[in-house]
Chain A
């Protein structure tokens, strides 16, 4: 329980800090880089390193590479839905989750295997 409380606090602080950096920088494209900051990853991997060790973290990180490439596909899809289809930001961001799941799990199944 304490472990998850720690995760909540560290993750919340890391995400808030990177999001605030995104608010403060201009132009918007540069600020958007912070939307793909390793905020959740930093908190999670630090805790995993201390609890489960380096081998566990290495496997985590290998999958994270594919998750990040899926995030690129997701973000690009959001951009297209906003720019070409003029959807609202929330609708575009929610609809594009399908792309993230398909890309992340598809690449993992093909390149690593899901077990």
Chain B
């Protein structure tokens, strides 16, 4: 698989959409903190992997692809849903990376402190990439 960085795609997202993501992301982080404060870290920890902004993200993916395809005279609705489904598959694979991220913190935070977060971020990248490769190989 050839991975490409297409910076021009950033201009397709409007300022309103960027603002919506920022607000939802900020609100989700505050709510995660409130849940941890109210119910303790066992329940609070679950919400660190809650798909709070997923509905907004996947809707934007569908909308952008649908508009682009309709402009080109293609079946926009079907293509938009297919693109959103592919995005969801990517998120499912990335979730295993997120589980690895959490596992590294659980096992090393007591000894490594803040360094554990850096190690965990590396584990997220490695496991998510490995899951993607494995899916393509199967």
Contact = CB atoms under 8 A, between A and B. Distances in A.
Main secondary structure of the interface of B (DSSP, over half): helix
Given A37-B94, A105-B46, A86 B88 contact: no
What interface size band does chain A fall in? 35 or more
Main secondary structure of the interface of A (DSSP, over half): helix
Nearest to A56: B41
Nearest to A105: B46
Contact of B13 (A23, A79, A82): A23
A61 B45 contact: yes
Interface residues of B, number: 83
A36 B86 contact: no
Interface string A11-35: 1111110011011111111111111
Contact of B88 (A65, A76, A94): A76
8 contacts: A4-B30, A12-B29, A16-B25, A25-B5, A75-B95, A79-B89, A93-B58, A100-B51
Interface of A: 3-4, 7-16, 19-20, 22-49, 54-72, 74-76, 78-79, 82-83, 86, 88-90, 92-94, 97, 100, 104-105, 108, 112-115
